[in-house]
Amino acid sequence: MAKNNFKLQDSNNDPGFGYLFPGQGSQIVGMGVQLYEMSAAARTVFHEVDMALGRPLTEVVFNGPEEALRDTVNAQPAIMAVSLAAARAMEEQLGLENMPSPSYMAGHSLGEFTALAMAEVLDVPVAVKLVQERSRLMQDVCEQQPGGMAALFGIDLHTVGEVVRETGTYISNVNTSEQVVISGDVIAIAHAIDLAYARGARRAVPLKVSGAFHSALMEPAKKGLMEAVEKLEFHDPKVPIIGNCTGEPLTVADDVKREVIGQISSCVQWKNSIDYMLRSGISQFIEIGPGKVLASMVKRIDRGASSVSIGAVSYTHLTLPTNREV
């Protein structure tokens, strides 16, 4: 396997860190531009991704248009590229001796594939090409059966379960105890939003996606993804990855394979993933990539936890706190 150039220290040396990687929806035109301009290590990542895909994805990431970046086939590899670029820039700036060593990694949906590269399960070109194929398969399903998703706030999981049963929708992400994402066809999602409000939801926000991700409606994409995964040589992760489907650590290659195949049509158990790390002694979470959504979720799950975002929009964010901060 080709070297990833990510220098992971022995995770037993510093048991308090967990790395988090964002998923689709965190993209924004221009993300990573300052990383590219100011970090040679980040530039290497962007060039590596463009070469692996055989197209100038970086042009879309930096210049848009927004509609193009929002397309699943662009958004997924773009977020992965920016997250990996931020990680390499962080390493470049801090130096290997000061690089925080994670005991666990977790990625939200697409972010799980970023974790594969970071944990050296796959090298970067192979991982980004797998993400490209995953996004193509998902886009094909979206075109054949358009769907939607909505985030529900201030409503408990039991009540959300009643809502999805009565509307034919699905629970796709359990992000916190008061934030659950549902998916389904467009009409069903509209009905589910109305019913959620009637059952006490504080807020319901339709998401800017074209499909019912992490639901049974994505089953048609699973066969193609399985075929793509089985062609690749997966390696045991250098750092345990907390699986989206189970909220438990993945430590061997075969388990990682099953996870990345299954999660395309399964619920992302994000709260369980963070809870597992908290119970295991993780006290500091570092979100690496565009946005600050995951760091914010950590604080909603446990106000006593420390979380920081290593941003992709501003290079100046590539410093780690010495004190507890959000």
pLDDT at site 97 = 81
Query: Which residues are marked as active site?
Result: 109, 214
Query: How far is residue 217 CA from its own chain's centroid?
Result: 20
The dihedral built from the CA positions of residue 20, 21, 26 and 32, taken in this order, carries a sign that is positive
Distance separating alpha carbons of residues 189 and 168, to the nearest angstrom: 9
What pTM, to 2 d.p., does this model score?
0.91
pLDDT at site 9 = 44
Q: How many CB atoms lie within 10 A of CB 224?
A: 17
Q: For 81, phi and psi rounded to 5 degrees? A: -60, -45
pLDDT at site 26 = 86
Look-up of token digits 């049509």: 265
pLDDT at site 196 = 98
Q: Residue 149: name the closest of 199, 197, 107, 211 by CA.
A: 211
pLDDT at site 326 = 34
Domains in the chain, CATH or no CATH each: 14-143+215-317 (3.40.366.10), 147-206 (3.30.70.250)
Residue 7: HSE in the Cβ half-sphere, 13 Å Cα cutoff? 12
Q: What is the pLDDT along the chain (326 residues), one digit of tens a residue?
A: 344 544 444 444 445 899 999 998 889 999 999 999 999 999 999 999 999 999 999 999 999 999 999 888 999 999 999 999 999 999 998 887 888 899 999 999 999 999 999 999 999 999 999 999 999 999 999 999 999 999 999 999 999 999 999 999 999 999 999 999 999 999 999 999 999 999 999 999 999 788 999 999 999 999 999 999 999 999 999 999 999 999 999 999 999 999 999 999 999 999 999 999 999 999 899 999 999 999 999 999 999 999 999 875 444 444 454 433 33
Q: How far is CA 179 from CA 11, 54, 204, 260, in A?
A: 31, 38, 10, 23
User: How many residues are recorded in the chain?
Assistant: 326
Distance separating alpha carbons of residues 72 and 214, to the nearest angstrom: 14
pLDDT at site 71 = 87
pLDDT at site 164 = 98
